[in-house]
Structure 1
Amino acid sequence: MKITTPRRLFASAVLALATVAGATTPGQAQPAAPTQPAAAAAAAAAAAALPGYQVINGGPATVDNFARMYLACPSGKVVVGGGGEAQGAGGVLVGSFPSYVGGVYRWNIVARQEGASQVTTTGHIVCVDSAALPGYQLINLPNANVSNGGSREVACPSGKVVVGGGAEARGSSATLRFSVPIPAKKVPYYSWTASGRSLSENTVGITVDAICADPMPGYEIVEAPVTEAPNPNRLSLTCPQGKAVLGGGPGGYNTAVVSASRPEFIDSAHGYRWVTSVREPSRTTAISGASAICANI
């Protein structure tokens, strides 16, 4: 299905074709393709410690560059993570972040395609029942310009852990460079940090969002070792047995361009893993890492 919006920066569009376990999210269009039947079993297994755990997949949808798309959690649920992928050799993930609009928790995706006016994108949102996360809080750091490759950070309040987060790079040639959680073992607090870069300017706008909550059983942040691999450098992270992935993010280095950061279904026994894709336009290889947030199921 093709969705177009006025060709201007940061236009709005609903990412239609949302599917989860054969059902549609309220307010979304009908599924574009069959959902993996085994996803229902994985979601049911997660209900023990994370009531209402649900991964909703949207797209693929073709939209104008910089169109803002979103998926929404069903009523009574909160967003804990999400992501997307800008498909194609020139796909660029500009923004992947949570929001709360009109009483509904959303995951937003902004993407573009180098050398084209439109981009084909998928979107994904991870939701749980609101009662599953005491102390739940979504914190937004409004947009501000930083030097190319610079970063910004949102810290969770004392006593809370970072459950998920995201960011948006702003500018006509902007891209995310990294968008990852920071565990308390690295700093004396949990936080979400993000970096962007412009392919044509000396500065780039960065907005950062952190999802925080009271600690939960089995909480941990899993990190993939930094690796150098041929473009695109695709990494995947699987939570330890008995745990479900809540969210995650890509870690790119140097002149990295992020094209994907999203949950990916494995099978009914393993549920979802987190996958990322990073490339460096001026090199044949890219250096990247990845992080995933896990909790007991």
Structure 2
Amino acid sequence: MRVLTRLKSVLCALAVVAGTLTVATGSGTSAAWADGTPTEPPAITGIEVVKRTATVQDFQELTVACPRALVPISGGGEAKVDVAFYDNVSLTQSEPTRDSWGPKSWTVSARTDDSAPFTLTVYAVCAPEPWGYEVVSQYYRNIANGGTLTVACPEGKTLLGGGGRVRGTDRRSMGKSYPATAAGNSVPNQWAVSGYDHGQSGLEADAHAVCVYPLSGVTTTRYTATTSDYITGGVHMCAPGKRVIGGGAAGAYTEDSLVASRPALAAETGKSDGWWVQAIGLRPERTVDLYVTCI
């Protein structure tokens, strides 16, 4: 059973001209199959969620690395300010980052309206490199305000997680970063990113999809939260006994801002693992889609 726990907090608890297409794979041999046609990929084991919290300035990047030989399969971020209202705080970046060996960490950034220091937390969901692991990326793509940049997994692979970044003026906001399903597919195989830049016609965005060969037991579900309060969201939970391995969020309107989109473990929710989302916007009715991927 999927469970949604509606949570609200005065402290916002919760985080594209032609571009280039890049693919980053890990260095382990598990990414290649002997005959190219796996029959029963192993389940993901050894999942670890790591995080880092710091006091930062606008657009200051905060990164957390996966431990040992683990790789990031998803991640997220959460910005906290004293009071949240329309457009005064937003995630601007939540994406996998890499060292010389390949994807290794997760990086987030955010911005506020008053330029005062604020609290930011970055999360990485890490695991031993899954079979067929690769991160497919699009960089510096022009999109209209509220437009969407989508990056797809290669044929034969499915999505575990993803992220993105929006680039523009100091009023830019990320309004969507979520798993998407292409026409003709039954499971998510794309990652979509959208944003808004106040007073501008558009902005630039990056998008990243974390892709693997299909794994049994992986589910991605969505819940739509709506409220008339100044902030909406909550935790979209995995079924009991399932582990969270990814998730995302999508505000309903062009001007919406994501304040948080990140994993929440059972020890925090008091029930099951899930994905925690908070969003703010201009419309009297706040609506946001919450996505969680579990195994």
TM-score bracket, normalised by the shorter chain, equals 0.7 to 0.9
Secondary structure of the structure 1 residue equivalent to 2:273: strand
> Which sections of structure 2, spanning at least 5 residues, go unmatched?
1-41
- Deviation per CA, 1:158-188, whole angstroms, max 9, x where unpaired? 1111000001111121111111101357757
Q: Give the superposition deviation at 1:76.
A: 1.2
Tell me if 1:165 matches 2:166: no
- Deviation per CA, 1:91-122, whole angstroms, max 9, x where unpaired? 21111111222325111101111222433211
Tell me if 1:78 matches 2:76: no
- TM-score normalised according to structure 2 size: 0.77
Distance 1:186 1:241, change over 3 A: farther
Q: Where does residue 96 of structure 1 map in the other structure?
A: 94
Q: Where does residue 33 of structure 1 map in the other structure?
A: none
Tell me if 1:274 matches 2:275: yes
Q: 2:137 aligns with which of 140, 153, 163?
A: 140
Tell me if 1:235 matches 2:228: no
Contact 1:112 1:118 in 2 (8 A): no
RCO comparison, higher one (Cα < 8 Å, 6+) = 2
% identical aligned pairs: 29
Number of residue-to-residue matches in the alignment = 244
- TM-score normalised according to structure 1 size: 0.77
Matches within 5 A, 1:250-289: 250-254=249-253, 255-267=255-267, 270=271, 272-280=273-281, 282-289=282-289
2 CA distance for matches of 1:200 and 1:117? 22
Distance 1:239 1:73, change over 3 A: same
Q: Give the superposition deviation at 1:84.
A: 0.8
2 CA distance for matches of 1:117 and 1:153? 33
Q: Give the superposition deviation at 1:222.
A: 1.1
2 CA distance for matches of 1:62 and 1:179? 24
Q: Tell me the amino acid that sits aligned with residue 168 of structure 2.
A: G
Secondary structure of the structure 1 residue equivalent to 2:46: coil
Contact 2:239 2:272 in 1 (8 A): no
Contact 2:95 2:106 in 1 (8 A): yes
Q: Give the superposition deviation at 1:287.
A: 1.3
Contact 1:166 1:192 in 2 (8 A): yes
2 CA distance for matches of 1:259 and 1:272? 20
Moved over 3 A (4+): 183-189, 268-271
Secondary structure of the structure 1 residue equivalent to 2:114: coil
Q: Where does residue 21 of structure 2 map in the other structure?
A: none
Q: Where does residue 179 of structure 2 map in the other structure?
A: 181
Q: Give the superposition deviation at 1:140.
A: 0.8
- Deviation per CA, 1:118-170, whole angstroms, max 9, x where unpaired? 3321111100012xx10001011011221111111011111111000001111
Matches within 5 A, 1:187-226: 187=185, 190-226=189-225
